[in-house]
Structure 1
Amino acid sequence: MQTTDTFMPLPTQVTSQLTVYSYAVINEGDAPAVVQVQVGPDGKNFASDVEEIVPPGETGVFAVARFLRFTRLAVRSKNESCPTTLSIYFQAQAMR
């Protein structure tokens, strides 16, 4: 996906039944990206949780610091008018 100058939310994940989950963000472009984990109680309202910068050519791994039923990522360009390309993966484990 290509970043823009404003935060773009990715699809929401229902994480209430998951034991462990994280996002991998690979910055395949030439500019840094800001990645924010967001959590919410109802799938409509979200609060910022963890936020980090992923430099060009780097991979960041993101996990929540606080739990709510819904989780998503939001991404944007760090520098105005300097988009970058990200590959994003969601991986999870559930206990049975």
Structure 2
Amino acid sequence: MKLSPAASWFLLAFGVWSWFIWVSFVRNLWKNGSGLAFDAAGDPTSYFWVHLTLAVTSFLLGTAVGVIGLRGVRAVRRASRTEPDTGAGSAA
């Protein structure tokens, strides 16, 4: 399967976005002082475990999508280097 350059870049950007968003989310979840993520004794609540599971799953899926995008971008670049430059259509 071949991805277009635009689709490859979109998938790569989505993967980077996932790293940024979900790492930030888990960091904020860990620091949560509202009583939702941790009870009075400091133990994680079910809210914490559910949201940590959602974040890790989304992080892993975003990573997989980003890897697909990266492979597509690399393939596009590799293909553009191996194509002979005929000079057709280029204005000096």
Q: TM-score, normalised by structure 1?
A: 0.23
Q: TM-score, normalised by structure 2?
A: 0.24
Larger radius of gyration: 2
Q: Which has the higher strand share?
A: 1
Q: Which has the higher helix share?
A: 2
